[in-house]
Structure 1
Amino acid sequence: MVKNALQAQLLKAGLVDNKKAKKLSKQAQHEQRTGQSNEAEIKAKIEQDKQQKLSKDQALDLEKKKILDEKALKASIIQMISQHKIRDTDGESVYQFIDGSIKKIYINQQVYNALVSGSLVVAKDADGYALLPKALADRINDKMTGFIIVNNSEKNEQTTDEEDPYAAYVIPDDLMW
């Protein structure tokens, strides 16, 4: 009576009875003879699944492209920093700045004065820190932030509050204790 193994297993497990198994088998035979089935619904479901998969794949591709573009931009910025950093800056003056913790670099007095005035900036480099001209630092900041650590030109451009009683007493950044 039972025509396939699945029906036999369902009967044995007690999930369906003989009447229901016969009814399902007759319904399946009828659909085969008449050609009536849920083909239209199945095709619509398949098409909908394809569209969902396509949109999901496009979103993933867009995200991957964004990540690759960001990596390429980072690599180009790192290359710009390594090519344009100022070399031969070793000296006796100590310049301190904060990058997570207090960092020190030893530079000569001329470079120290340029850093304090804002014409040079401190940037992250692969092997530590690099000193860059301000124009290049501005271009790097326009492309991606996070590479420039110290930019004193921004501090020099700040205006003081008119009501501040100590506005005339400016504390210099290069104050040595």
Structure 2
Amino acid sequence: MAKNALQAQLLKAGLVDSKKAKKISKQAEHAKRTGDSDSAAAKKALAEAQAKKLKKDQKLNQEKQRALEEKTRKANIIQMIKQHQLTDTQGEITYQFVDDTKIKKIYITQKLYDQIVAGHVVIARLEDSYALIPRPLADRIDAKMTGFMVVSNDTAEDALAEDDPYAAYVIPDDLMW
């Protein structure tokens, strides 16, 4: 005998025989016990959602890790500048330079002025002020992260271009403003 009304109606109409009805009811009972009824699609959707969430979380973690590494690198550079900056720089000679779009002025000694012009000393940005650091340290810092060097008089940059129409006119590096 059929267990539900639909099976009974299908048997009476002759569309399904009793063997097929028993087989279908056994499959339905088995699916109820094991939980396979339409849950395969739900499990698949759940697995896809978990995979997407995992991928999104990994991407966010990578971005956070990159931001943390950059912050650590910046802190290390600032610490290097603070440790190795030249002290006793106060003097009576002004050195003017351009930072972004503003002209800045620092007072230094004649010896430091000559070293900056020669390219042996570099002016670096240190939080809200400026620090004078030796060229080798400046090169190491610039290799790690750009944006800290404000004035770097490099002699290699002064090489004149071949098609420069003003190549014959010499402009002094130590021009006072």
TM-score, normalized by length of structure 2? Answer: 0.75
Name the residue aligned to 2:38: 38
Name the residue aligned to 1:58: 58
In 2, the alpha carbon distance for the partners of 1:176 and 1:158 equals 18
How many residues align? The count is 147
Q: How does 1:131-170 map to 2 (within 5 A)?
A: 131-154=132-155, 157-162=157-162, 164=164, 166-170=166-170
By how many angstroms is 1:127 displaced? 4.4
Name the residue aligned to 1:67: 67
Name the residue aligned to 1:88: 88
Specify every segment of 5 or more residues in structure 1 that has no aligned partner in the other structure, as ranges: 1-29
In 2, the alpha carbon distance for the partners of 1:42 and 1:75 equals 49
Amino acid at match of 1:68: L
By how many angstroms is 1:162 displaced? 4.3
Q: 1:48 to 1:145 in 2, by over 3 A?
A: same
In 2, the alpha carbon distance for the partners of 1:162 and 1:40 equals 72
Q: 1:140 to 1:38 in 2, by over 3 A?
A: same
Q: Deviations over 1:85-125 (max 9, x none)?
A: 00101111110011131000000000000001111100011
Q: 1:165 to 1:40 in 2, by over 3 A?
A: closer
By how many angstroms is 1:176 displaced? 2.2
In 1, the alpha carbon distance for the partners of 2:65 and 2:71 equals 10
Amino acid at match of 1:129: Y
Name the residue aligned to 1:47: 47
Match of 1:152, SS state, is coil
Name the residue aligned to 1:106: 107
Q: 1:54 to 1:116 in 2, by over 3 A?
A: same
By how many angstroms is 1:71 displaced? 0.4
Name the residue aligned to 2:21: none
Q: 1:40 to 1:89 in 2, by over 3 A?
A: same
By how many angstroms is 1:174 displaced? 1.3
Specify every segment of 5 or more residues in structure 2 that has no aligned partner in the other structure, as ranges: 1-24
Name the residue aligned to 1:126: 127
**Percent of residue pairs bearing the same amino acid type:** 52
Moved more, 99-108 or 160-169: 160-169
Answer with 1 or 2: which has the greater Rg. 2
In 2, the alpha carbon distance for the partners of 1:112 and 1:74 equals 28
In 2, the alpha carbon distance for the partners of 1:45 and 1:176 equals 72
Q: 1:162 to 1:63 in 2, by over 3 A?
A: closer
Amino acid at match of 2:98: I
By how many angstroms is 1:164 displaced? 4.7
In 1, the alpha carbon distance for the partners of 2:122 and 2:54 equals 47
